[in-house]
C-alpha cells in the first residue's frame, strides 16, 4: 500500500472516531431530563440566598456582669451580631476593657457599617461622650466628649439630649446639647453637627422668628434628602406640679421644624394642632429619600389613640395611614426603596377599653406607603421595634416575655420575620438582652 492510500485510510478513521464521539455525546445529552437542571437552579438559588443572608446581620445590645469588669457593679455591655438563620452569633464590640460604660445605643449608619452610641461614667456620672463603632474593624472613636472628671463639682454640666441622627451619606451626625442636665436649671445648648472622619464640629445657628419658643428645645430627627437641611422636633418643657412644688418635668413634641444648616433659616413643617386637637406628641420620623416623603407617629396620652401618618417633606399632602381604634399604632420603620410601594413596618399596641397596654408592644404590621397591602406578623409574644433589613427580605423585632402579672419583663427575644416565606424565627433569647440595634454589614 502506497503512502497516499495510508494517509486516506488514517483520515477516514479519524473522521469516523470524531463522529462517533459526537453522536455519543449528543445521545447522552438527549438522555438527560429537565429535573437535574431544575435541581441545579434551585441549589444555585439557595446558595445565592445564603450569600444574601451572610451580607447582613442583626445587631443587639446585651448587658450583664463579669468579675473581671472594672465598671460599676462589674457591669459589662456587649454588641452582639447574629445572622437571620440564628447562627454565627459573635461579639462585635465589648466595653469590658473600656474606661467608661457603653450605656446608650443610638442607631446604625445608613450604609450599615457603623453604630453611634454613648459612653458614660457609671459611678459619679461626670463623663459623657458620643462615640462611633466601626463594625468591620471593631474600633471605637470618640467624636464628642463631655469630661468633668477633673472638676470640683464632679457633675455632668453638658450632655447630648435625645438621639443623634446620621446624614444620608453616613459622614456626619447631628445632635442637640443640653446644659446642666439632671438639674432644675437645664437649658438648650443648641444643635451641632460633627464630621466623624475629621472630628470637626459646626454649630447650627437656628433663626426662630417666635422668641417665645426659646423656652423649648429643638432636637434633630432627620437630615433632608440633600443633607442641606435638618428636620427637628420642637419639644416644649412642662413642669409636673404638686401643691405648688415642681416635682419633675415632661416634654411634648409639638412641632416639626426644618432648618437650613448654612443659614439657620427655620420653617415650620407640622404642628400638633393639625391632629384632632388631642394631647398628643409627634415622634419616630423616617424619610423616603426617593419620594421625599416623611413617615411618623402621632401618639396620644395613655388613654388616647395613636396612628401612623405620611406627608411630603414640606408638610403638604398629609395623610393618615392607619385607623384601627383598638390599637395604638406606633414605632414606624421604613424600607427606603425607589419603588412607589415602599414599605412601612409598625407596632399595633392593643387597647383594652380606653386604656392601652402598659408596655408599647403588640403585633407587628407591614403596609405599603399608601396604606395598602397590610400584613400582620402574629408572634407568640408581644413585639416591638420592627426594623427592615436593607435588602427588604427580613423584618427584625424584639419580643417581650412578661411575668404572670404582666407588670415586668422577664425575658427578651430577638426575632426575624422572612417576608418571602412568612417564617418567624427567634434568633436570640435571654434576660441580658437589653435592646435591638438594627441591621449591620457582616465583617468578612
Per-residue pLDDT tens for 216-242?
789 999 999 999 999 999 987 777 777
Q: For 99-274, give the CATH class.
A: mainly beta
Question: In which band, very low, low, confident or very high, does the pLDDT at 210 lie, cut at 50, 70 and 90?
Answer: low
User: Which of 223-227, 236-240, 321-325, 384-388 has the weakest average pLDDT?
Assistant: 236-240
Mean pLDDT of 424-438: 95
Percent of the chain exceeding pLDDT 90 equals 59
Q: Average pLDDT for residues 170-188, to the nearest whole number?
A: 88
pLDDT band of 22, cuts 50, 70, 90: very low
* Each residue's pLDDT tens digit, 38-67: 554 454 444 444 444 458 999 999 999 998
The per-residue pLDDT of the chain, averaged, comes to 84
Residue ranges with strand state E in 303-342:
306-312, 319-320, 327-335
Grade residue 305 by pLDDT with cuts at 50, 70 and 90. Answer: confident
Residue 214's Cβ-side half-sphere holds a number of Cα atoms within 13 Å equal to: 6
Q: How far apart are the first and last CA of the chain?
A: 70
Residues 428, 82 contacting (CB under 8 angstroms):
yes
* This prediction's pTM: 0.83
Please tell me the predicted confidence (pLDDT) of residue 364: 97
- The more confident residue out of 101 and 301 is 101
**Cell, residue 164:** 443623634
Residues β-bridged to residue 253: 235
User: Which DSSP state fits 444?
Assistant: -
- Which string of DSSP letters, residue by residue, matches 192-230? EEEETTT--EEEE--B-S-GGGGGSEEEEEEE-TTSSEE
Task: Please state the length of the chain.
Answer: 444
Tell which wins on pLDDT, 179 or 28: 179
Joined together, the cell numbers standing for residue 444 give 468578612
**pLDDT, position 29:** 38
Which grid cell is 165? 441622627
- Count CB neighbours of 380 within 10 A: 11
User: How many angstroms separate the CA atoms of 382 and 360, rounded?
Assistant: 9
User: Residue 168 and residue 229: Cα distance in Å, rounded?
Assistant: 12
Note the pLDDT of residue 303. Answer: 66
Q: What is the pLDDT of residue 158?
A: 92
For residue range 79-121, list pLDDT tens digits in order. Answer: 999 999 999 999 999 999 999 999 999 999 999 999 999 999 8
Mean pLDDT, rounded, for 19-28: 39
pLDDT at 351: 77
* Residue (of 366, 388, 386) closest to 436 by Cα position: 386
Going by pLDDT thresholds of 50, 70 and 90, the confidence category of residue 164 is: very high
Query: Rounded to whole angstroms, how far apart are CA atoms 211 and 351?
Result: 39
Amino acid at each position: 500500500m502506497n503512502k497516499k492510500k495510508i494517509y486516506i485510510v488514517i483520515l477516514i478513521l479519524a473522521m469516523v472516531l470524531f463522529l462517533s464521539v459526537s453522536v455519543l455525546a449528543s445521545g447522552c445529552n438527549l438522555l438527560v431530563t429537565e429535573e437535574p437542571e431544575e435541581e441545579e437552579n434551585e441549589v444555585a438559588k439557595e446558595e445565592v440566598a445564603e450569600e444574601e443572608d451572610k451580607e447582613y446581620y442583626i445587631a443587639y445590645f446585651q448587658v450583664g456582669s463579669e468579675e473581671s469588669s472594672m465598671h460599676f457593679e462589674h457591669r459589662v455591655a456587649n454588641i452582639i451580631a447574629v445572622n437571620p438563620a440564628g447562627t454565627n452569633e459573635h461579639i462585635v464590640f465589648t466595653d469590658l476593657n473600656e474606661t467608661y460604660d457603653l450605656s446608650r445605643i443610638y442607631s446604625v449608619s445608613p450604609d450599615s457599617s457603623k453604630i453611634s452610641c454613648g459612653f458614660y461614667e457609671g459611678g459619679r456620672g461626670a463623663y459623657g461622650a458620643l462615640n462611633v463603632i466601626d463594625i468591620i474593624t471593631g474600633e471605637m472613636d470618640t467624636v464628642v466628649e463631655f469630661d468633668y472628671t477633673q472638676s470640683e463639682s464632679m457633675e455632668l454640666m453638658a450632655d447630648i439630649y435625645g438621639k443623634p441622627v446620621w446624614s444620608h451619606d453616613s459622614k456626619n451626625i447631628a445632635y442637640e446639647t443640653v446644659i446642666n442636665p439632671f438639674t432644675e436649671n437645664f437649658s438648650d445648648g443648641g444643635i451641632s453637627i460633627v464630621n466623624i472622619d475629621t472630628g470637626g464640629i459646626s454649630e447650627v445657628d437656628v433663626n426662630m422668628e417666635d422668641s417665645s419658643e426659646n423656652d423649648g428645645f429643638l432636637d434633630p430627627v432627620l437630615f433632608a434628602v440633600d443633607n442641606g437641611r435638618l428636620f427637628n422636633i420642637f419639644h416644649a418643657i412642662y413642669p409636673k406640679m404638686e401643691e405648688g412644688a415642681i416635682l419633675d418635668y415632661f416634654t411634648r413634641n409639638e412641632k416639626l421644624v426644618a432648618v437650613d444648616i448654612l443659614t439657620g433659616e427655620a420653617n415650620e413643617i407640622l404642628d400638633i394642632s393639625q391632629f384632632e386637637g388631642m394631647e398628643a406628641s409627634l415622634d419616630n420620623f423616617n424619610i423616603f429619600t426617593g419620594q421625599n416623603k416623611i413617615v411618623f407617629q402621632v401618639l396620644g396620652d395613655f388613654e388616647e389613640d395613636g396612628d401612623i401618618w405620611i406627608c411630603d417633606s414640606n408638610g403638604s399632602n398629609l395623610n393618615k395611614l392607619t385607623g384601627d381604634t383598638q390599637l395604638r399604632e406606633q414605632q414606624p420603620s421604613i424600607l427606603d426603596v425607589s419603588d412607589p410601594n415602599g414599605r412601612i413596618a409598625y407596632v399595633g399596641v392593643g387597647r383594652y377599653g380606653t386604656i392601652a397596654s402598659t408596655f408599647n408592644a403588640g403585633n407587628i404590621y407591614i403596609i405599603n406607603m399608601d396604606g395598602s397591602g397590610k400584613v400582620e406578623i402574629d408572634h407568640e409574644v408581644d413585639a416591638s421595634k420592627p426594623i427592615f433589613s436593607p435588602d427588604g427580605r427580613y423584618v427584625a423585632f424584639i419580643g417581650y416575655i412578661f411575668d404572670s402579672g404582666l407588670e415586668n419583663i422577664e425575658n427578651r427575644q430577638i426575632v426575624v420575620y422572612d417576608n418571602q416565606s412568612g417564617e418567624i424565627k427567634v434568633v436570640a433569647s435571654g434576660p441580658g438582652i437589653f435592646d435591638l440595634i438594627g441591621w449591620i454589614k457582616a465583617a468578612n
